[in-house]
């Protein structure tokens, strides 16, 4: 009898296990399943037939497709077989609305390019409507080419923020502070007021991180640089600045302050965690040590630096010093697109070429710079930059089906040396699918393109 009770108990317990296994299959909002998952996590896990489970805004699990299928049911599923699943790319420096100046003027010396084309065009065309149209067009391009987060420095940044949110992208958006009168501020004091209002409007936004963007040390006086930095410290938001981009900037700093731009900014108390310096081309080892000691992030923009012949940033030295360094495209006027796959490829090739050492920057490091290292440069690596549970569900899938991707021995190699933005199939930000099978869901593609073309005549007239 005793034995029969025990046997019955075992049967009941067995049934309970089966029932609870079914109940344990948790329902989540989205499964992205069946592709090669390149996690860029701390152990660089690559899962050949993997899947990512997403619930709401967050990743809840990253595992083999089989294990994910056992544990989760998705209300929606994206079949990513034949694709690579990877973290969304992070563009750490751009001026999104400048896509409307794409190809306006090329192959000129920097001063001629700026003074004859970019500044006159900006003086006559930058307006809320321009920034709106430009940011929408940039957002379309970024979604199509796999960028999920971008850091922006421009004017009318509230328009950038509204267009970015509507497109569903994540943005670290900096209101520009500059010494001379510009479209959205007559004085730097006006710009600071604008920046504070902008921070207040977007401080707790799930997609937008408002920031302060003092343009550069050579376009601002010391008190304004300090005021801009104080503002961002007061509200605990990032500071974005152009830093040591050209040799002219180094000369200006030497003549005016007898120091490098890095040392000058440090003497103002400007440098610290939360500061991201774009370019960092002309820096000494001592400058790099200061940037590391102060916890400053750097954005490397290989295409812009090459196109404007600004110089070659010492990226291997930054990496050796363990400075947080990400990749950027810069504005489309000097690139001329926002494709972060190109940025990875150019970074890898440029530093091999410049150092005559093919080991100088590996595919793995280039991919990290476009993802986790970029997140670290922006101070957002706890929630962004890799596919791991509890991070934001910002991810993309990339096709491996074409002639150009065949055969494939190493997905990391292909991501950096073969892929283009056009190969992106699905783009997901904050758990929301922004592009599905190459169809952008959050923007009316035809309308955005027509709106972009509508600016051609006005921009041409501005530089006549």
Contact residues toward Zn ion (CB under 5 A) are 330
Residue 278 beta carbon to Zn ion: minimum distance, rounded to whole angstroms: 5
**Choice between 291 and 443, CB closer to Zn ion:** 291
Residue 451 beta carbon to Zn ion: minimum distance, rounded to whole angstroms: 24
**Choice between 308 and 448, CB closer to Zn ion:** 308
* The pair of three-digit structure tokens given for residue 82, joined into one six-digit string: 């034949």
CA angle 267, 293, 312 (to 5 degrees): 85
**Choice between 305 and 365, CB closer to Zn ion:** 305
**Choice between 280 and 385, CB closer to Zn ion:** 280
**Quick one: DSSP state of residue 88?**
P
Residue 236 beta carbon to Zn ion: minimum distance, rounded to whole angstroms: 24
Question: Kind and range of the H or E element at 331?
Answer: none
Residue 284 beta carbon to Zn ion: minimum distance, rounded to whole angstroms: 22
What residues form DSSP beta bridges with 58? 55, 392
Alpha-carbon distances of 203 from 304, 329, 360, 449, rounded to whole Å: 31, 26, 39, 31
Residue 153 beta carbon to Zn ion: minimum distance, rounded to whole angstroms: 6
Residue pointed to by tokens 């067009």? 137
**Choice between 141 and 330, CB closer to Zn ion:** 330
d(CA 315, CA 350): 10
- Beta strand 83-87 pairing with 395-399: antiparallel
d(CA 432, CA 347): 30
Name, in order, each residue with C-beta under 8 angstroms of 126's C-beta and a sequence gap of 6 or more.
Answer: 97, 155, 156, 182, 183, 184
Residue 89 beta carbon to Zn ion: minimum distance, rounded to whole angstroms: 18
**Choice between 170 and 242, CB closer to Zn ion:** 242
d(CA 169, CA 150): 8
d(CA 135, CA 161): 9
Residue 307 beta carbon to Zn ion: minimum distance, rounded to whole angstroms: 12
**Choice between 249 and 330, CB closer to Zn ion:** 330
Residue 186 beta carbon to Zn ion: minimum distance, rounded to whole angstroms: 23
d(CA 314, CA 293): 17
**Choice between 299 and 432, CB closer to Zn ion:** 299
Residue 235 beta carbon to Zn ion: minimum distance, rounded to whole angstroms: 23
**Choice between 151 and 161, CB closer to Zn ion:** 151
Q: Shortest Cβ contact with Zn ion: which residue?
A: 330
Name, in order, each residue with C-beta under 8 angstroms of 216's C-beta and a sequence gap of 6 or more.
Answer: 241, 242, 243, 245, 249
d(CA 148, CA 255): 41
Alpha-carbon distances of 370 from 12, 195, 373, rounded to whole Å: 53, 28, 7
Question: Kind and range of the H or E element at 170?
Answer: strand 170-177
Name, in order, each residue with C-beta under 8 angstroms of 107's C-beta and a sequence gap of 6 or more.
Answer: none
């Amino acid at each position: 009898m005793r034995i029969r009770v025990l046997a019955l108990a075992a049967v009941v317990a067995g049934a309970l296990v089966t029932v609870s296994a079914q109940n344990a299959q948790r329902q989540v909002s989205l499964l992205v399943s069946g592709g090669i998952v390149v996690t860029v996590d701390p152990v660089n896990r690559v899962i050949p037939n993997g899947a990512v489970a997403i619930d709401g805004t967050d990743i809840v699990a990253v595992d083999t497709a089989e294990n994910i299928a056992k544990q989760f049911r998705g209300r929606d599923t994206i079949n990513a077989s034949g694709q690579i699943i990877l973290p969304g790319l992070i563009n750490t420096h751009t001026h999104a609305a400048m896509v409307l100046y794409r190809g306006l003027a090329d192959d000129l010396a920097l001063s001629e390019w700026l003074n004859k084309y970019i500044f006159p065009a900006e003086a006559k065309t930058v307006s809320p409507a321009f920034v709106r149209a430009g940011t929408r067009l940039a957002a379309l391009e970024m979604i199509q080419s796999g960028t999920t987060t971008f850091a922006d420095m421009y004017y009318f940044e509230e328009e950038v923020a509204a267009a970015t949110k509507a497109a569903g992208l994540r943005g670290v958006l900096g209101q520009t502070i500059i010494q001379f009168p510009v479209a959205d501020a007559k004085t730097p004091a006006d710009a600071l007021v604008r920046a504070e209002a902008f921070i207040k409007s977007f401080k707790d936004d799930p997609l937008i991180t408002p920031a302060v963007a003092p343009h550069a040390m050579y376009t601002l006086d010391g008190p304004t640089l300090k005021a801009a930095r104080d503002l961002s410290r007061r509200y605990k938001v990032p500071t974005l600045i152009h830093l040591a981009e050209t040799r002219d900037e180094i000369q200006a700093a030497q003549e005016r302050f007898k120091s490098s731009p890095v040392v000058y900014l440090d003497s103002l108390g400007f440098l610290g965690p939360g500061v991201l310096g774009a370019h960092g081309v002309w820096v000494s080892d001592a400058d790099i040590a200061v940037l590391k000691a102060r916890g400053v992030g750097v954005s490397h923009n290989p295409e812009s630096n090459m196109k404007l012949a600004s110089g070659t940033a010492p990226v291997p030295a930054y990496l050796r010093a363990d400075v947080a360094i990400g990749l950027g495209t810069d504005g489309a006027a000097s690139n001329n697109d926002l494709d972060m796959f190109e940025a990875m490829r150019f970074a890898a090739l440029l530093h091999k070429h410049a150092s005559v050492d093919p080991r100088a920057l590996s595919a793995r490091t280039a991919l990290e710079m476009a993802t986790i290292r970029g997140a670290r440069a922006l101070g957002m690596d706890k929630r962004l930059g890799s596919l791991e549970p509890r991070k934001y569900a910002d991810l993309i899938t990339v096709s491996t089906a074409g002639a150009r991707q065949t055969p494939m021995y190493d997905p990391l190699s292909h991501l950096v040396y073969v892929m283009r933005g056009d190969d992106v199939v699905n783009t997901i930000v904050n758990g929301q699918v922004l592009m599905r099978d190459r169809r952008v869901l959050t923007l009316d593609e035809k309308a955005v393109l027509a709106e972009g073309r509508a600016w051609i005549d006005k921009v041409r007239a501005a530089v006549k």
